[in-house]
Amino acid sequence: MRIRLTDLAVKKLPLSQNGQVTYWDELTPNFGIRCSTRSKSYIVLLGEKRRRKTLGRYPELSLSDARKQAKQLLSANALEEELVVPRGQVISFEDAKSRFLTDCESRNKPRTVADYRRLLNKHFKFKGEIREVDRQQVMKVISKLSSTPSEQSHAYVAIRTMMNWCVRHGLIDHSVVPPMKQNSVQRDRVLSEDELRKVYLRAIETPFPFGPIVQLLLLTGQRRSEVGQFRRSWINDGEMVFPHGFAKNKKEHRFPLSPLAQELIARLPDTGDLLFPAATDYEKPFTTWAWHKKRFDEGLEDVEPYTLHDLRRTFATVHAKIGTPIHVTEKLLNHVSGTISGVAAVYNRHSYMDEMRHAVSEYDAYLVHPIGS
């Protein structure tokens, strides 16, 4: 029986006196409510075989929520059926890539999808069928990226994720990409005093956006993803406030900007709310890290290879050297697993803002004193 399901209509539907009666919605195909002798349950039919799935009982589940669930399931099922490849059909690598990215759009965050798309389209351009791609081809691409370890690692993850997806969806029988070799050695690279100042001088000489970005990495000790998304609306009275859910630990992070950091931000060009937007879209944050880092390092002499995260580790090390208490450094870095954690974190609600403000001023002085002398 087909009717227009509304809240009032669902409420008035009688329980069945014998067996079950299903009322199908006129507005949403394959969605309805089944009335038995004891209860009313929302159902949806999926796929060509019209597989029935129960969504929940009325009134615990509202009509609007049930309809929303049904639409999501119907949409996901339609996409899944579209991605199924009939046995014997030839699928090119590019077609498989397109199918993988389309599926990712329904399951992953936009940033993840964008990263996968960039990495796969930039580095993996194999011609011919997906089944003809072999391990040698893949590893040849990966080996060429050895000069940029971060890009190499991300590209490896992208192609391995895609190939595993192809196995699950029957496009290939097995993945030609071997498991990533786990490197259990923790990085402990800390720039020397001379290297730190050379990087800082190089950053001063480098134009917007990467020069100021590196300066703020050095002056604040924050993660590169955080600095890349700095917003003017997060700055108030000389303090930067990361909102809940933004930082790695998902908690609000408030810290003072040093005098040098404040002066630098005041000189930045007007780019809207984002301090460092993407070159082609001021609504999106800066993302071209590898390209800019490679060119930035070409102008450095006598500085051993380093990553941008090494600057954060160096920041902490310098604070230890100039006498900043460890709990203050951890506050600056937004570490919650250090000296103030567990029960101590629950009962110690002191912000340490004054202590942090003094610490970043001392760090400024340490960084620039030899430069101005």
The CATH number covering residue 64 comes to 3.30.160.390
pLDDT greater than 80 at residue 10: yes
Looking at the fold, whether 64 and 198 belong to one and the same domain comes out as no
Other CB atoms within 10 A of residue 25 CB: 23
Please say which residue of 168, 183, 204 terminates a domain.
168
pLDDT greater than 60 at residue 20: yes
Looking at the fold, whether 159 and 27 belong to one and the same domain comes out as no
* Least confident stretch, 84-93, 189-198, 219-228, 358-367: 84-93
pLDDT greater than 50 at residue 347: no
DSSP 241-310: EEPTTTSTTSS-EEEEPPHHHHHHHHHS---SSBSSEETTEEEEE---HHHHHHHHHHT--S-----HHH
Q: Please state whether beta strands 40-46 and 51-58 pair in parallel, antiparallel, or not at all (unpaired).
A: antiparallel
Report the pLDDT value the prediction gives residue 337, as an integer from 0 to 100.
55
Mean pLDDT of the chain: 87
Mean pLDDT of 57-67: 90
More confident residue, 78 or 10: 10
Looking at the fold, whether 163 and 203 belong to one and the same domain comes out as no
Looking at the fold, whether 254 and 135 belong to one and the same domain comes out as no
Mean pLDDT of 315-324: 96
CATH of the domain at 229: 1.10.443.10
Evaluate whether residue 173 is within a structural domain.
no
Report the pLDDT value the prediction gives residue 87, as an integer from 0 to 100.
54
* Least confident stretch, 36-50, 109-123, 228-242: 36-50
More confident residue, 214 or 370: 214
Backbone torsions φ then ψ of 33, nearest 5 degrees: -130, 135
Looking at the fold, whether 60 and 101 belong to one and the same domain comes out as no
Mean pLDDT of 116-124: 95
Looking at the fold, whether 224 and 284 belong to one and the same domain comes out as yes
Looking at the fold, whether 154 and 250 belong to one and the same domain comes out as no
Report the pLDDT value the prediction gives residue 345, as an integer from 0 to 100.
46
* Least confident stretch, 4-8, 104-108, 202-206, 279-283: 104-108
Report the pLDDT value the prediction gives residue 372, as an integer from 0 to 100.
45
Backbone torsions φ then ψ of 44, nearest 5 degrees: -140, 145
Query: How far is 78 from 187, CA to CA, in rounded Å?
Result: 46
Residue 87's Cβ-count burial label (10 Å; 0-12, 13-18, 19+) is exposed
Looking at the fold, whether 348 and 228 belong to one and the same domain comes out as yes
DSSP code for 19: S
Domain interval for residue 15: 2-68
Evaluate whether residue 162 is within a structural domain.
yes
Evaluate whether residue 182 is within a structural domain.
no
Report the pLDDT value the prediction gives residue 89, as an integer from 0 to 100.
65
Q: How many domains does the chain have?
A: 3
Evaluate whether residue 85 is within a structural domain.
no
Report the pLDDT value the prediction gives residue 123, as an integer from 0 to 100.
95
Report the pLDDT value the prediction gives residue 119, as an integer from 0 to 100.
95
Report the pLDDT value the prediction gives residue 219, as an integer from 0 to 100.
97
Per-residue model confidence as pLDDT tens digits over 324-336: 999 999 999 998 6
Report the pLDDT value the prediction gives residue 348, as an integer from 0 to 100.
44
Per-residue model confidence as pLDDT tens digits over 153-169: 899 999 999 999 999 88
Mean pLDDT of 355-364: 96
Looking at the fold, whether 223 and 358 belong to one and the same domain comes out as yes
Evaluate whether residue 175 is within a structural domain.
no
Report yes or no on whether pTM surpasses 0.75.
Answer: no
Report the pLDDT value the prediction gives residue 370, as an integer from 0 to 100.
57
* Least confident stretch, 153-162, 261-270, 277-286: 277-286
Report the pLDDT value the prediction gives residue 181, as an integer from 0 to 100.
63
Looking at the fold, whether 255 and 337 belong to one and the same domain comes out as yes
Evaluate whether residue 177 is within a structural domain.
no
pLDDT greater than 70 at residue 183: no
Evaluate whether residue 216 is within a structural domain.
yes
Per-residue model confidence as pLDDT tens digits over 134-150: 999 999 999 999 888 88
Report the pLDDT value the prediction gives residue 280, as an integer from 0 to 100.
84
Looking at the fold, whether 265 and 336 belong to one and the same domain comes out as yes
For residues 90 and 130, the answer to whether their CB atoms sit within 8 Å is: no
Evaluate whether residue 74 is within a structural domain.
no
